[in-house]
Amino acid sequence: YVAIWLDQAGEEKLAASSGSETTDLVSFPLAYQGETIGRLEVARRAPNEQFSEADYRLIEKIAQQAGAAAQTVRLNTELIRSRAQIVNEREDERLRIRRDLHDELGPMLAAQGLKLSAARQMMRTKPEKAESLVDEVIQQSRQTVADVRRLVHGLRPPVLDQLGLVEAVRDLARNHGGGLALEIIAPSDGLPHLPAAVEVNAYRILLEAWNNAVRHSHASRCLVKFQAEQDMLVISIQDNGVGMPKDYRSGVGLRSMRARAEEIGGSIRIDDGKPHGTRITARLPLPAFEGNTK
Amino acid sequence: YVAIWLDQAGEEKLAASSGSETTDLVSFPLAYQGETIGRLEVARRAPNEQFSEADYRLIEKIAQQAGAAAQTVRLNTELIRSRAQIVNEREDERLRIRRDLHDELGPMLAAQGLKLSAARQMMRTKPEKAESLVDEVIQQSRQTVADVRRLVHGLRPPVLDQLGLVEAVRDLARNHGGGLALEIIAPSDGLPHLPAAVEVNAYRILLEAWNNAVRHSHASRCLVKFQAEQDMLVISIQDNGVGMPKDYRSGVGLRSMRARAEEIGGSIRIDDGKPHGTRITARLPLPAFEGNTK
């Protein structure tokens, strides 16, 4: 009997097994680039029979080989989970928007129509009643404008539609300044047209990077550089501060930046700035999907 | 010089290379489960030097081994691409909804408010003018209701909110009947609460399967069975028709069913029915994401 257990999202899960299960097992760690990512379990040939030195060495070698394959399986599982989660969140959002619009806005507009028709009829005969109906509708209408605005703001950062990505960063620096001077370098003829996802995720990455620089770097200046390569938007954010503490490199802010880049097929890189400070580089692919594959 | 080329979405792409490039190369196919998925290119040791029989056998063996690894790389690349595409589509949709609401509904409601205020003022002095303003608003408001309905219908099949998944299928059969009798088996105490994505994707899979049965199967009956397992919704659609032509098994309808299942981490299986017909089984995981990982 042989079984492979993998650590998946903090839980150990059975990935593969062969032979009939038994309890008398010897366990070998599966590692990938120094990190233990699971266990290889092997049954003794006979109860209480010890493995020989050579057996151990052989199985350890197999466990090493299996480590790389196991890492791929973990990565695949994680990708499938991540995609499913994005789809689940998308459909939850659609449901929420649908309910906001269909169950609230729709009936409200219908009720407005009725009130206005009634007001229209009695305008000459009962002007006071008509006035009060029109007042109600005006009041409700203001409420509706506010509701729609709230719904709209939740969908994507409004500043992107008002200012575009580059100016949105300048705006960000103005509003979350923290005494940090911002310099922006962008192509003189502007960025190419960015897909909505690249624009939004770039903005969220920049927001996170800026906040980090303001809160932790003790920097006085921050340089944000936008470059459009053939099929890639490359953004680097460089400050002249104290650099990142080593333990931050896996912190929440960085994880969220990385997730933002990865969900659109991009990557984040962190380098020590020269002569000091930190440089964060985001590489975000500009998709060229001819035709939808659905 | 050694290089690995992989077929990715119909294009051959360089996946890895080592050494300095040269033009005098011998090419070996990389295969996985009988399918050619790429090429291994190896440079001759010296110009025009032939590989020996033993060299060929060795490289072919390496190409076989590399096939499995290459398949994993392809699968990973495809998963990353697929996730990025879903995120891109989501953000395009958010942008579209935002524009519909912010650029059209917002200003329109604001304009309505102004017209109503004006009507309110002149109701007693210029009733005809006031009436015509109110008429305009009533007219516009009808248009807005229609616009909102259009927006809402695009978000998810409205029938799901009206009837729920099981009854939506009955409705589907009524409206796209094609002389096929439908029998539904569902848990007597109803299905558990389904996440929006599972409900929508299940419905789209059922719609596709039903259309296939109506158009191609020459069946007279179709049995749809819903089962809720612990963390899985299992749906089987079985007809008593002629079965699927072999070449259909990779057709567009089936690909779209499979994509719908896979994007939420599920799977589709197709079996020959007993004694005839086709059975399609969709297994869709019910996610239990405690807390959002974002």
Query: What ipTM goes with this model?
Result: 0.77
Set out the domains of chain B in order of their start, with CATH numbers.
Answer: 2-82 (no CATH), 94-155 (1.20.5), 159-285 (3.30.565.10)
Pairing of the two strands A2-8 and A11-18: antiparallel
Region for B190 from its dihedrals, namely left if φ exceeds 0, alpha if ψ lies in -120 to 50, beta otherwise: left
Tens of pLDDT along B185-216?
999 988 988 999 999 999 999 999 998 888 88
> Using CB atoms, which residue from A88, A97, A130 is nearest to B264?
A88
B83 and A83: CB-CB below 8 Å? yes
Segment B241-264 mean pLDDT: 81
A85 and B289: CB-CB below 8 Å? yes
Q: In this predicted structure, what is the pLDDT of residue A293?
A: 34
Using CA atoms, how far apart are residues B205 and A214, in angstroms rounded to an integer?
Answer: 49
B144 and A101: CB-CB below 8 Å? no
B265 and A138: CB-CB below 8 Å? no
Smallest Cα distance from B185 to chain A, Å: 26
Encoded tokens for A44: 């003794």
Using CA atoms, how far apart are residues B88 and B82, in angstroms rounded to an integer?
Answer: 10
A123 and B130: CB-CB below 8 Å? yes
Using CA atoms, how far apart are residues B157 and B196, in angstroms rounded to an integer?
Answer: 11
B86 and A83: CB-CB below 8 Å? yes
> Using CB atoms, which residue from A94, A142, A287 is nearest to B156?
A94
Closest residue, chain A, to B158 (C-alpha)? A98
Segment A65-72 mean pLDDT: 74
Smallest Cα distance from A48 to chain B, Å: 36
Does residue A158 have a cis bond before it (omega within 30 degrees)? no
Region for B157 from its dihedrals, namely left if φ exceeds 0, alpha if ψ lies in -120 to 50, beta otherwise: beta
For a pLDDT cut of 70, what percent of chain A falls above it?
95
Which residues of B are less than 8 Å from A204 in CB distance? none
Tens of pLDDT along B42-54?
887 777 777 788 8
Q: In this predicted structure, what is the pLDDT of residue A264?
A: 94
Contact in structure between B283 and B232 (CB atoms under 8 Å): yes
Segment B110-136 mean pLDDT: 91
Which residues of B are less than 8 Å from A104 in CB distance? none
Q: In this predicted structure, what is the pLDDT of residue A281?
A: 95
Smallest Cα distance from A110 to chain B, Å: 7
Using CA atoms, how far apart are residues A76 and A84, in angstroms rounded to an integer?
Answer: 12
Confidence label for B91 from pLDDT (cuts 50, 70 and 90) = very high
Smallest Cα distance from A234 to chain B, Å: 17
Q: In this predicted structure, what is the pLDDT of residue B248?
A: 64
Q: Give chain B's length.
A: 294
pLDDT at A45 > cutoff 80 = no
Contact in structure between A98 and B161 (CB atoms under 8 Å): yes
Q: In this predicted structure, what is the pLDDT of residue B247?
A: 65
pLDDT at A291 > cutoff 50 = no
- CA B80 to chain centroid: 15
Contact in structure between A220 and A181 (CB atoms under 8 Å): yes
Phi, psi at B30, each rounded to 5°: -100, 130
Q: How far apart, in Å, are the Cα atoms of A276 and each of A144, A153, A287?
A: 52, 38, 34
Q: In this predicted structure, what is the pLDDT of residue A187?
A: 93
How many other C-beta atoms are found inside a 10 Å radius of the C-beta of residue A226? 19
Q: How far apart, in Å, are the Cα atoms of A22 and each of A7, A42, A44, B78, B241?
A: 21, 10, 9, 38, 46
State chain B's mean pLDDT as an integer. 85
Which residues of A are less than 8 Å from B105 in CB distance? 148
Encoded tokens for B273: 């029915």
> Using CB atoms, which residue from A95, A127, A134 is nearest to B116?
A134
Smallest Cα distance from B219 to chain A, Å: 27
